[in-house]
Amino acid sequence: MSKADPKASEVLRYDYVAQAFHWLVALGIVVTFALGFFMTGIHGISLLKLKEYNWHKWLGVSVFLIALFRIGWDLAKPAPPLPKSVSLVQQRASKWMHYLLYATTLLVPVTGYLYTLAAGYPVVYFGWLALPVFYGKQPELIEPLRVVHAWLSYGMALAVVLHSAAALSHQFYYRDGVLLRMLPGRAQPPRGTS
Ligand code: HEM
Which tens digits make up the pLDDT trace of 16-37?
999 999 999 999 999 999 999 9
Measured CA distances, 72 to 17, 46, 93, 187 (Å): 12, 39, 22, 25
Domains of the chain and CATH, by start: 16-81+100-182 (1.20.950)
* pTM of the predicted structure, to 2 decimals: 0.91
End-to-end Cα separation, the chain, in angstroms: 27
Contacts of 138 (CB under 8 A, 6+ apart): 117, 118
Q: Is the CB of 149 under 6 A from ligand 1?
A: yes
Q: Is the CB of 37 under 6 A from ligand 1?
A: yes
Q: Is the CB of 118 under 6 A from ligand 1?
A: no
Would you say residue 168 has pLDDT above 50?
Answer: yes
Q: Is the CB of 86 under 6 A from ligand 1?
A: no
pLDDT digits (tens, 9 = 90+) for 52-97: 999 999 999 999 999 999 999 999 998 888 888 888 999 999 999 9
Gap between the Cα atoms of 111 and 151, Å rounded: 10
Angle at 45 between CA 43 and CA 47, to 5 degrees: 120
Distance between Cα 112 and ligand 1 center (Å) = 5
Residue nearest to atom 41 of ligand 1 (CA): 40
